[in-house]
Amino acid sequence: MYALNQPLVSFKSSLAGGRRSTGKVIKLRKAHVPSFGSRPNGLGSVRAVISGGDKAAVEEASTPPLQSKDISGTLKPSSSSPIEVKAAVTIRKKMKEKVSEKIEDQWEFFINGIGQGILIQLISEEIDPVTNSGKIVESAVRGWLPKPLPSEHSHIIEYAADFTVPIDFGCPGAVRVTNLHGKEFYLLEIVIHGFDKGPFFFPANTWIHSQKDNFQSRIIFKNQAYLPSQTPAGIKGLRHEDLLSIRGNGKGRRKPHDRIYDYDVYNELGNPDKSEELARPVIGGEERPYPRRCRTGRPPSKSDPLTESRIEKPHPVYVPRDETFEEIKQNTFSRGRLKALLHNLLPSLAVKLSSSDIPFKCFSDIDKLYNDGLLPKDDDEQKESVLFSGNMMKQVLNAGGEWLKYEIPAIIKRDRFAWLRDNEFARQALAGVNPVNIEILKEFPILSKLDPAVYGSPESAITKELIEQELGGMSVEKAIEDKRLFILDYHDIFLPFIEKMNSLPGRKAYASRTVFFYTKTGFLRPLAIELSLPPTPSSPQKKHVYTHGHHATTHWIWKLAKAHVCSNDAGVHQLVNHWLRTHACMEPYIIATHRQLSTMHPIYKLLHPHMRYTLEINALARQSLINGGGVIEASFSPGKYAMEVSSAAYKSMWRFDLEALPADLIRRGMAVEDPSEACGIKLVIEDYPYAADGLLVWSAIKEWVESYVERFYSEPNSVTSDVELQDWWNEIKNKGHADKRNEPWWPKLNTKEDLSGILAIIIWTASGQHAAINFGQYPFGSYVPNRPTLMRKLIPQEDDPDYEKFLQNPQQTFLSSLATKLQATKVMAVQDTLSTHSPDEEYLGQVNPLHTHWINDHEILELFKRFSSRLDEIEKIINRKNKDGHFKNRSGAGIPPYELLIPSSGPGVTGRGIPNSISI
């Protein structure tokens, strides 16, 4: 399976046990790793195997004289002599180091060279009758100034350790690593050579803490998957010990080197110590239910004992050590933050020289963001141009250069006027950045579920007569029967908050409903928009209904009504579908997986790629995006009530079982059950790009998961008898989603079918679902009129003082109702960062070249290869559909192709690609 390539590096290795170096040269070779179809990114493996004076380390080599094979494949000596085995220890250094760090490296090399830096214990799967635990041999890592690997892997270095193994040692199952240095290091892998069926791989991909920070050694297991009941006796205790080492008990402040996973509520979004205006309620609990986040243990704020004290930028928020960004990702994210800074610096300074924030005055102001950048050039903006006279600003501009200009968004790149048209407004409900809220209209009249005693009549002002006027002779009953009426309903989610939202400065919003008709020619047409305001002590509930008029005045009012709908859609997208349903809901799954599933557990190995970077990106979001005064509050309609809106949606809408794509489509009436179709459902609208492509990806994930689960749970009762698995699922329900723990809809976990369904939902959420609603943010949202994130004015009515101004200059009324330049550029900068793929992104169906030995199971590797090939086929299917004129929602003049669920992507803002995990 693993063939040898040319030598990569050699270094002197001293003997174990404190003996003097013999000067013997140990050659490190690169192991050939199996290909996983055409999807791996081709960086190549850096795995090394050692060949010493004999060839015992090489898989293809002849059996050494002192060894012969036994049934188990472990050492079977032909004499009583002990056996010499070797370990290759692969460590990753920083790619770009300061001079001081390079000097520290030289000292580390020296300390390791004399065997005083890293200690390794090799632990057998067999029991030592004296200690009643696994047999142990110990050695120190040695090697004098090891040379790095060539070219792109120059930051990866390797050491060796020699072990003298007793003849009855058995098969190695784990290693303990002790770091005697004063600082941590990143361990990629340990490979043990010299055993008959070796080499044995111990994938680590982890930070090894210094012994001065934590006296406990780290346990690394072999890449063999074991259910708890199958764990070899010699490492069974280690399995339990390793799990205990990373579980928190809800106490203590976490330190940067910790690997502790524990739960907490969202009680650190506010900063009452800084300002009373920044105080925020606790999100999570009976009053405001929410998924749990990773606990940091910071002390409470001085002003409010229920609020955790905050850590502000640039200081990091704690996440378990292995959850932090790797260097490439950190650099990419930092560049994104720099871009956001440069984008926002200039308009922020402009505001300081102006009496108020500056609205867009004409559409060409928006175009300048892409054509000219943020440099004001018009004569009537001379006040702003004062900004550019100082030396400091010139330096900023010189340093910023290309950062100050935005890329033309995909939505206007082909057709700059597409956003104006009704069919594009409707198309984006099926093929935009938020295609997960449209649902079929099942009954008339449209009714609210809110308390009528508080919010007034539940019946919508969109009447049957009004709809039938737009249907050209078809009755409402017939349209409903034929599944031709659809709705975007943001009435109930927003109406309870509208009064508070509209009391915020510069915010005016409605609760909205939009009804669409699916025509015989195959496209959606918006029929009517209802915009509602809640009742107040001085006035009853107000409901305004708008249709597309042919008169100039009604035409502009219709544009304003659509803008308010888009603003609501943007808020629900960001706070509910994006943040809540993917980021926040994934966090408890990740915490529970680390706390309850051993790294040896096959389900841990399956889920591990889908957990990468999520806790870190969520911590950064709590620090800068969803916090009090953060970007979301500053840029979206709900303002300071944003997380309360998200909590209300979790309470009323979120169900784990309906997060499966087929179940969600059926719930919304966008599909019906049909056993003859793939996934057992048939789409009501065939040309629904998100659903059609999503079902392809969902079915591939489901097939992969089912085949994987079958491999390990083929025996009856194997799921119910798996104690780690049962504890994992119970913890997700009872701790991770504690506020929903008593809901009757939680799936049971009794069979392999139950398990496959649960795992498919988790993997789909982390990969396909997040990709579909995240990576289109800049392509669709960065042109402000297409997708305003907030509105600053209500639609003028005939008795309003501003109505005459609207008649005189409707364009100015429209633009002044949108976000200001500062608000818009803030959102654009953040959307640009969130839509960017990092160069080290790991995509669905791919394996990181440094993690290729993730499991020692040929059948699983073949199944994964089949999964990877299926994703390649899906990519081709989607590309064909995007060129097929039959699909009007994904092809046509000026229409950007729907690529958000194409599995692969390059780095940058591509509008495509499905990462394994929620990594941005």
Assess whether pLDDT exceeds 90 at residue 24: no
Which of the four pLDDT bands, split at 50, 70 and 90, describes residue 46? very low
Q: In terms of Cα–Cα distance, which of 334, 246, 333, 330 is closest to 294?
A: 246
Assess whether pLDDT exceeds 80 at residue 144: no
**Average of per-residue pLDDT across 242-254:** 93
Assess whether pLDDT exceeds 90 at residue 776: yes
* Inter-CA distances, 185 with 89, 162, 419, Å: 12, 21, 52
Q: In terms of Cα–Cα distance, which of 289, 268, 297, 292 is closest to 280?
A: 268
Weakest mean pLDDT among 50-54, 136-140, 189-193, 667-671? 50-54
Handedness of CA 817, 822, 828, 830 (dihedral sign): negative
**Residue 848: predicted pLDDT:** 85
**Residue 825: predicted pLDDT:** 84
Measured CA angle at 35 (ends 29, 38), to 5 deg: 140
**Average of per-residue pLDDT across 835-845:** 92
Assess whether pLDDT exceeds 70 at residue 865: yes
Q: What is the pLDDT of residues 546-593, one digit of tens each?
A: 999 889 999 999 999 999 999 999 999 999 999 999 999 999 999 999
**Average of per-residue pLDDT across 384-395:** 41
**Average of per-residue pLDDT across 433-452:** 96
User: Comparing 59 with 677, which gets the higher pLDDT?
Assistant: 677
Q: What is the pLDDT of residues 211-234, one digit of tens each?
A: 999 999 999 999 999 999 999 999
Assess whether pLDDT exceeds 90 at residue 65: no
Strand, coil or helix: 598 = coil
Average pLDDT over the chain reads 85
Assess whether pLDDT exceeds 90 at residue 415: yes
Assess whether pLDDT exceeds 70 at residue 450: yes
Assess whether pLDDT exceeds 90 at residue 619: yes
**Residue 232: predicted pLDDT:** 97
CB hemisphere CA count around 696 (13 angstroms): 21
Assess whether pLDDT exceeds 80 at residue 48: no
Assess whether pLDDT exceeds 60 at residue 356: no
Kindly state the DSSP code that residue 218 receives in the 8-state scheme: E
**Average of per-residue pLDDT across 513-521:** 96
Which of the four pLDDT bands, split at 50, 70 and 90, describes residue 326? confident
**Residue 44: predicted pLDDT:** 34
Which of the four pLDDT bands, split at 50, 70 and 90, describes residue 394? very low
Classify strands 439-440 and 25-31 as parallel, antiparallel or unpaired. unpaired
Assess whether pLDDT exceeds 70 at residue 53: no
Which of the four pLDDT bands, split at 50, 70 and 90, describes residue 734? very high
Q: Give the integer Cα–Cα distance in Å for 108 and 454.
A: 69
CB hemisphere CA count around 836 (13 angstroms): 22
User: Comparing 341 with 565, which gets the higher pLDDT?
Assistant: 565
Pick the most confident of 40-54, 632-646, 832-846.
632-646
Q: In terms of Cα–Cα distance, which of 877, 517, 847 is closest to 694?
A: 877
Assess whether pLDDT exceeds 60 at residue 5: no
Spatial neighbors of 340 by CB under 8 A, at least 6 apart, are 826, 829, 830, 832, 833
Assess whether pLDDT exceeds 60 at residue 36: no
User: Comparing 650 with 378, which gets the higher pLDDT?
Assistant: 650
Give residue limits of the domains in the chain. Answer: 83-225, 434-560
Q: Is 2.60.60.20 the CATH classification of the domain at 83-225?
A: yes
**Residue 337: predicted pLDDT:** 57
Tell me the fold of 434-560: Nuclear Transport Factor 2; Chain: A, (3.10.450)
Weakest mean pLDDT among 349-363, 531-545, 604-618, 805-819? 349-363
Which of the four pLDDT bands, split at 50, 70 and 90, describes residue 152? low
**Residue 188: predicted pLDDT:** 94
The rounded Cα 763 to chain-centroid distance in angstroms is: 11
Assess whether pLDDT exceeds 70 at residue 602: yes
Which of the four pLDDT bands, split at 50, 70 and 90, describes residue 379? very low
Pick the most confident of 9-18, 351-360, 445-454, 816-825.
445-454
Which of the four pLDDT bands, split at 50, 70 and 90, describes residue 345? low
Q: What is the pLDDT of residues 109-118, one digit of tens each?
A: 788 877 889 9
Which of the four pLDDT bands, split at 50, 70 and 90, describes residue 358? confident
Assess whether pLDDT exceeds 70 at residue 297: yes
**Residue 314: predicted pLDDT:** 83
Report the b/e string of 756-781 with b at 16+ CB within 10 A.
Answer: bbbbbbbbbbbbbbbbbbbbbbbbbb
**Average of per-residue pLDDT across 64-78:** 39
Q: Give the integer Cα–Cα distance in Å for 320 and 308.
A: 18
User: Are 207 and 319 a contacting pair, CB within 8 Å?
Assistant: no
**Residue 365: predicted pLDDT:** 87
Tell me which residues are annotated as active site.
Answer: 578, 583, 770, 774, 920
Residue 814, both tokens: 């429209």
Edge-to-edge strand order for the sheet containing 25-31? 4-12, 25-31, 48-51
**Residue 73: predicted pLDDT:** 42
* Inter-CA distances, 284 with 287, 587, 624, Å: 8, 14, 19
Weakest mean pLDDT among 57-66, 168-177, 530-539? 57-66
* Inter-CA distances, 757 with 514, 592, 871, Å: 34, 18, 20
**Residue 287: predicted pLDDT:** 97
**Residue 404: predicted pLDDT:** 57
Which of the four pLDDT bands, split at 50, 70 and 90, describes residue 108? confident
Beta strands in 233-299, from DSSP E residues, in sequence order: 263-264, 293-294
Q: What is the pLDDT of residues 203-212, one digit of tens each?
A: 999 999 999 9
Percent of the chain with pLDDT over 70: 84
**Complete DSSP assignment for 819-863:** --HHHHHHHHHHHHHHTEEPTT--BTT---GGGTTS---HHHHHH
Which of the four pLDDT bands, split at 50, 70 and 90, describes residue 148? low
Classify strands 485-490 and 439-440 as parallel, antiparallel or unpaired. antiparallel
**Residue 388: predicted pLDDT:** 37
**Residue 829: predicted pLDDT:** 86
**Average of per-residue pLDDT across 528-541:** 90
Residue 491, both tokens: 């009435």
**Residue 338: predicted pLDDT:** 54
**Average of per-residue pLDDT across 20-26:** 31
Which of the four pLDDT bands, split at 50, 70 and 90, describes residue 98? confident
Weakest mean pLDDT among 333-342, 513-522, 728-737? 333-342
